[in-house]
Amino acid sequence: MIKPTYEELTNDFGGVIIKRTDADGTVAWIPVNEANSDYQRYLNPEAEQSTPIDTLPSKLAVASDASTVK
C-alpha cells in the first residue's frame, strides 16, 4: 500500500490546513483539529487506525436488588 503525501499550507489569514494526496491523485483537505481522525492519522501515521472497543465489563457493579444501593 502506497502511503499518501501530506503538505502543510498556510492561507492568507495565517491559518494552516493539511493537503493530503493519495496514490490515485485524490486530494483531501484536513483541518488542523485534534478531534479530526484524519488529522490524528497525519500526526501519527504508524498508529492503528481502528477505534478501540472496550470489551471489559463495567467497573461499576450493577446491583440486582435496588434495596442494596445506597
Q: What's the pLDDT at 43?
A: 92
Of 45 and 57, the structure prediction assigns the larger pLDDT to 45
The lowest-confidence range among 3-7, 16-20, 50-54 is 50-54
| Of 43, 7, 47, nearest in space to 27 by CA | 7
Residue ranges of the domains in the chain? 1-45
The pTM score is: 0.60
pLDDT reported for residue 69:
53
Q: What is the pLDDT of residues 17-51, one digit of tens each?
A: 999 999 999 999 999 999 999 999 899 877 655 44
Rounded Cα gap, residues 36 and 38, in angstroms: 6
**Which run of H or of E encompasses 18?**
strand 16-21
